[in-house]
Chain A
């Protein structure tokens, strides 16, 4: 095949793929059309990947002798990577979805970084503009890869605590400046034709080394509950890196897809930060949680424990219940038991809604996915701004595994680290039950005023066990009545 023909076909295939990606994402604006949306985007991907092999007809003269080996390597890598990730993605538990998204995102960042590395090691860039874009693609891709790897380790609880040490921010800043400096040095040496202090390959290894190190250092101090922001940021970062790579290898499909994802990730990042009433830089650099430990105001009243079965029966006789799930529900894997309980209440005529806080869980929308997995119809699931006024006219608010997102001190206590964060108004319901593993504090280490309110009752125990007791109690009632 002529190389011009090959270019024509790959060009057309990539154009169609870019269109299908945009169209597919557009279809995500409703749960009804979304499944077809991802399929449409999938066809685009298959088309683009198949067409990319036509590049065997367009390779550089220098690469011609290696063409068969390279082609073989490409096919092996493609099949190996795709089948392993496919298998894992199909079998992983829904509660582990944040980890999976972090991994796949890290893979993409790594691929983007590696492409930049191939261009740099092969000295294939032309001109300062392209070189800078390549370095940026490599920098952002590498940070996204190592950062996502740490995020994955945190989400998978391999790393349990945020790692913090004195002067951490200074060290991080220095490492980042070092990678920027080395990048600048590479541009200077290449453009001026000066001889580098070390062989160019070594300089490049150091560049990627410091960049990877920065991704690790930057993510280590960030706490688990801030993961929704972090995952969104790395999603945006990988998108940007892919976009820059697209410019470098002159592939507009990568530029467009990368930028669209960059925009998506940025939007989600800002939404998440807004839902915590914190700036993005505050999430990344403030070592959140330390502030809460300093001040511990004495709470009025005391926590009133109540038996799970009593709480279950009380809800059976309520008219309306709003359920507020949090990360604790995911940890206890109790989503299916919860829906069983909900169906039981519904069959007794209780009106049920779920209220989801934007940052509940470890990634944007995690609670929605867990409830969907359990079979909860999405028309029962309401977001914060839609349901918050409804609490005042609701009999019972049932909080399961959530803490900071229902803490009323966010409304009133100016000294609270979460002051100003929009919260779910569980305290405005006539009665509030809180299912909690123990008397500990939330992630942020802040006392929760809600637990001490007159109309709040605490149900201690593992969410799964508590729900089983509630179900049994309500079932027992049913048979007694019959």
Chain B
């Protein structure tokens, strides 16, 4: 595989370090009330792993690689789509006083037990 940019050694370390710091600062500002959507939202963000799966599968040349690559894409796609679906659903429910909650009940009926 040939790449336009090679990320090696210290350059990789810099990327990791800056991303970790940036993430820490950004996430540190999320209020406790949103911790569940934050968790499922960051869950969704690591669903980007699906594009790694796609790249690995496209470059597969043996059956073993194809099978494992297939699962990588399958699982990654599930991670991304599912993470988005639940996060979006949860965030739509947070309302301040004055909003009508009726719509939410209609869209997301609780499971009957």
Contacts and interface: CB of A to CB of B under 8 A. Distances in A.
Given A11-B5, A81-B78, A86-B85, A31 B34 contact: yes
A253 interface: yes
Contact of B29 (A29, A78, A89, A379): A29
Nearest to A51: B51
A105 interface: yes
A373 B110 contact: yes
Nearest to A121: B64
Nearest to A13: B51
Contact of A261 (B34, B42, B90): B42
Contacts of A101: 36, 39-40, 43, 86
A122 B61 contact: yes
Interface string B74-92: 1111111111111111111
A363 interface: yes
A66 B61 contact: yes
Contact of A29 (B31, B61, B65, B73): B31
B54 A74 contact: yes
Interface stretch (A106-114, A301-309, A410-418): A106-114
A124 B16 CA distance: 22
Contacts, number: 445
Interface in A30-53: 30-32, 34-35, 37-39, 41-42, 45, 48-49, 51-53
Interface in A88-113: 88-90, 92-97, 100-101, 103-105, 107-108, 110-112
Interface stretch (A218-226, A364-372, A390-398, A433-441): A364-372
B82 A260 contact: no
B29 A84 contact: no
Contact of B60 (A22, A70, A262, A378): A70
Contact of B91 (A34, A59, A86, A92): A34
Q: Helix, strand, loop or mixed for chain A's interface? A: helix
Contacts of A29: 26, 29-31
B36 A34 contact: no
Contacts of A266: 24
Contacts of A104: 40, 43-44, 47, 78-79, 82-83, 86
Contacts of B61: 60, 62-63, 65-66, 122
What range describes how many residues of B lie at the interface? Answer: 35 or more
A239 B97 contact: no
B46 A239 contact: yes
Contacts of B23: 22, 25, 259-264
Interface residues of A, number: 137
Contacts of B27: 25, 260, 263-264, 267-268
Interface in A205-259: 231-232, 235, 238-239, 242-243, 245-247, 249-259
A97 B32 contact: no
B46 A238 contact: yes
Interface string B40-66: 111111111111111111111110111
A379 B7 CA distance: 46
A125 to B, nearest CB: 11
A261 B45 contact: yes
Given A63-B59, A107-B78, A377-B96, A115 B48 contact: no
Given A28-B37, A261-B42, A375-B95, A247 B12 contact: yes
Given A55-B55, A74-B54, A252-B15, A377 B47 contact: no
A424 interface: no
A110 B31 CA distance: 30
Interface stretch (A1-9, A168-176, A315-323, A466-474): A1-9
A74 B57 contact: yes
A60 B23 CA distance: 34
- For the complex of A and B, the 5 pairs showing the least CB-CB separation, nearest first, are A375-B101, A89-B85, A365-B35, A85-B82, A81-B77
Given A21-B48, A73-B57, A254-B49, 7 more contacts: A7-B4, A25-B30, A31-B94, A48-B48, A108-B76, A263-B21, A383-B32
